[in-house]
Amino acid sequence: MSKAYPSNLSLVQYQLISDLIPEAKPGGRKREVDMWSVLNAIFYILIEGVRWRSRRRRFSSLADSLHIFSQLAH
């Protein structure tokens, strides 16, 4: 895990919500992104109030974060 930010999920918090994260779709490639990192990026943006493009580079890519966020929001 990268540098700790106040908005980051702890391991215990991540384990509590990890069952709510949809599995990768069957028949496709294996999921390459770290979902913990994606959630930390989402929470960083929401809590710190910064734009997606201004997020820390340590987090997952913008495209991955936006795509997964849109899937989780539905």
Residue 24 included in any domain: no
* Residue 45 belongs to some domain of the structure: yes
Q: How sure is the predictor about 50, in pLDDT bands with cuts at 50, 70 and 90? A: low
Q: What is the pTM for the complete model shown?
A: 0.63
Q: Which residues contact 16 (CB under 8 A, 6 or more apart)?
A: none
53 located within any domain: yes
- Quote the CA–CA distance of 56 and 53 in Å, as a whole number: 9
**Residue 48 pLDDT grade (very low, low, confident, very high; cuts 50, 70, 90):** confident
Q: What angle do CA 67, 42, 6 make, to 5 degrees?
A: 165
Residue 13: pLDDT band by 50, 70, 90 thresholds? very high
Tell me how many domains the chain contains.
1
User: How does residue 44 score in pLDDT terms, banded at 50, 70 and 90?
Assistant: confident
Average pLDDT of the segment spanning 29-58: 76
Asked whether residue 70 is domain-assigned, the answer is yes
Residue 69 lies in a domain: yes
Domain of residue 67, residue span: 1-16+32-74
